[in-house]
Amino acid sequence: MGLNAGQVVAFPGHAASQVGFERAELQRILDLYGRMVAAGQWRDYAMDFDRHAATFAAFRRSAERPQARIEKRPALRAKQGMWTLFGEHGQVLRRGHDLAGVLAPMERRLLKAVD
C-alpha cells in the first residue's frame, strides 16, 4: 500500500482529534514571535498539542516560565472565544474569537519596545 503525493497520514500513537494551529494562525503567531525576538523581548518558544487545546508559549529565557502563552481551545468557540492570551503569571490578558484581537496587547508591547 503506497502513499499518494499530498496524502496526510496521522502520526502513529497520536489521536486524530488532536487540536492544532492552521497554517495562517501559526504564520501570524510566528510573525509576532520573530518581531519580538528582533526587539530582544523573546528568545525561545515551545508548542504543545493535545485533544483539548493547542498552545504556543514564548520565553524571554528558556529556563523560566513563559512570558506569554497563546492558547487555542475550540470547545470555547461558541462561548467566550477559542483564543486566550495568558501573561507571565498565568493571568488571562485577553480572550476572543479573533486571533488578531487576542494578540493586540503583545503587538502594543512590541511597539513600546521598539520606541
- pLDDT at residue number 3: 61
> Residue 36: its pLDDT value, please?
93
Name the residue ranges covered by the structural domains of the chain: 23-114
How do residues 86-104 score in pLDDT, each as one tens digit?
999 999 999 999 999 999 9
DSSP codes of every residue in 53-92: -EEEEEESSTTS--SEEEEE-GGGTTTT-SEEEE-TTS-E
Q: How far apart are CA 60 and CA 103, in angstroms?
A: 17
Give pLDDT tens digits for 14-67: 555 889 999 999 999 999 999 999 999 999 999 999 999 999 999 998 778 899
